[in-house]
Amino acid sequence: MHSNAAAGRANPCARGFRGATPLHEAVAAVRPAVVAVLLAESGVDPNLKNRDGDTPLHMACEGYSTRALVPALLAAGADPNARDSQGRTPLFHAYTEAEVRLLIAAGSDVRARDSGGQTPLHLQACNEPDCTAQLLAAGADVNARDASGETPLHKVAGMKQPWEQLWRPLLAAGTDVNAANEAGVTPLLYLDDGNDERHSMAAALLAAGADVNAASTRTFLHPWRGSWNERPSGTTFLHMHVEARCARRCTGVPDCVQLALRAGANPSAVDGLQRTPLDLASGACTVQALITAQQQQQQPRRQQQQQQQLRRQQQQQQSAVHPPPPPVWTDADFPPLPASRPEPAHHPPSTAPQERHPPAPVPAPSRPAAFNERGGPKLECRICMEEVAELVALVPCGHRVMCAACPQGALSSGSCPICRTPTTAVMRIFD
CB burial readout 389-403, b (16+ within 10 A) else e: ebbbbbeebeebbbb
At residue 380, does pLDDT exceed 50?
Answer: yes
Share of the chain above pLDDT 90, in %: 27
Most confident of 119-128, 324-333, 373-382: 119-128
pLDDT computed for residue 288 by the predictor? 67
What the chain holds in terms of domains, given with CATH numbers, is: 1-109 (1.25.40.20), 177-298 (1.25.40.20), 379-427 (3.30.40.10)
Question: Model confidence at 171, in pLDDT bands (50, 70, 90)?
Answer: very high
Parallel, antiparallel, or unpaired: how do β-strands 379-380 and 392-395 relate?
unpaired
Please indicate whether residue 7 or residue 353 has the higher confidence score (pLDDT).
Answer: 353
pLDDT computed for residue 284 by the predictor? 47
SS3 track for the chain: CHHHHHHCCCCCCCCCHHHCCHHHHHHHCCCHHHHHHHHHCCCCCCCCCCCCCCCHHHHHHHCCCCHHHHHHHHHCCCCCCCCCCCCCCHHHHCCCHHHHHHHHHCCCCCCCCCCCCCCHHHHHCCCCHHHHHHHHHCCCCCCCCCCCCCCHHHHHHCCCCCCHHHHHHHHHCCCCCCCCCCCCCCHHHHCCCCCHHHHHHHHHHHHCCCCCCCCCCCCCCCCCCHHHHHCCCCCCHHHHHHHHHHHCCCCCCCCHHHHHHHCCCCCCCCCCCCCCHHHHCCCHHHHHHHHHHHHHHHHHHHHHHHHHHHHHHHHHHHHHHCCCCCCCCCHHHCCCCCCCCCCCCCCCCCCCCCCCCCCCCCCCCCCCCCECCCCCECEECCCCCCEECCCEEEECCCCEEECCCCHHHHHHHCECCCCCCECCEEECCCC
Please indicate whether residue 89 or residue 318 has the higher confidence score (pLDDT).
Answer: 89
Question: Model confidence at 169, in pLDDT bands (50, 70, 90)?
Answer: very high
At residue 6, does pLDDT exceed 60?
Answer: no
pLDDT computed for residue 397 by the predictor? 77
pLDDT computed for residue 253 by the predictor? 41
Please tell me the total number of residues recorded for the chain in this structure.
431
Cβ 39 vs Cβ 76: under 8 Å: yes
Question: Model confidence at 127, in pLDDT bands (50, 70, 90)?
Answer: confident
At residue 11, does pLDDT exceed 70?
Answer: no
What value does the mean pLDDT take over residues 200-226?
81
Report the chain's mean pLDDT, rounded to a whole number.
79
CB burial readout 97-120, b (16+ within 10 A) else e: bbbbbbbbebebbbebbbeeebbb
pLDDT computed for residue 166 by the predictor? 93
Could you read off the pLDDT of 404-417 as tens digits, one per residue? 777 665 565 677 77
Range scoring the smallest mean pLDDT among 45-59, 205-219, 279-293? 279-293
Range scoring the smallest mean pLDDT among 86-95, 111-120, 247-256? 247-256
What's the rounded Cα separation, in Å, for the pair 103 and 108? 5
pLDDT computed for residue 132 by the predictor? 94
pLDDT computed for residue 13 by the predictor? 72
The vertex-145 CA angle with 85 and 205, nearest 5°, equals: 130
Indicate the pTM of the whole model.
0.61
Most confident of 133-147, 272-286, 290-304, 337-351: 133-147
Could you read off the pLDDT of 38-73 as tens digits, one per residue? 888 777 888 889 888 999 999 999 877 788 899 999
Range scoring the smallest mean pLDDT among 71-75, 76-80, 92-96, 351-355? 351-355
